Amino acid sequence: MGKDRSQGKRGQTTDGRHAVIDLLLQMEPELKQLQGSIMILQALGETADSVEPIALAALAQSCEAGFDQVMELWRASLVLARA
């Protein structure tokens, strides 16, 4: 009977690890979008041209959605890791 319990715990641990990995993989597209936005901001910062405030607002809005998604997935990963 002890053997069944250890196998059950091992299975739960494996399932938990897979769930955390899945959440981390879901973060990747959002992180890539944020990385691209940072690259755009760096390029804009290096130019002498002025940037329309509406363009910066659109970029910020795009980043905000990606950041919110990453934070939500990160929190879910943390909850799973603590379980």
CATH of the domain at 39: 1.10.287
Per-residue pLDDT of 28-76, as tens digits, reads 999 999 999 999 989 988 887 888 889 889 999 989 989 999 999 999 9
Residue with the bigger pLDDT between 10 and 44: it is 44
- Total count of domains within the chain: 1
- Count other Cβ atoms within 10 Å, centred on residue 20: 17
> CA 57, CA 63: separation in Å to the nearest integer?
10
Q: Is pLDDT above 60 for 1?
A: no
pTM (predicted TM-score): 0.70
Map tokens 């990385």 to a residue: 35
Domain residues for 44?
Answer: 2-82
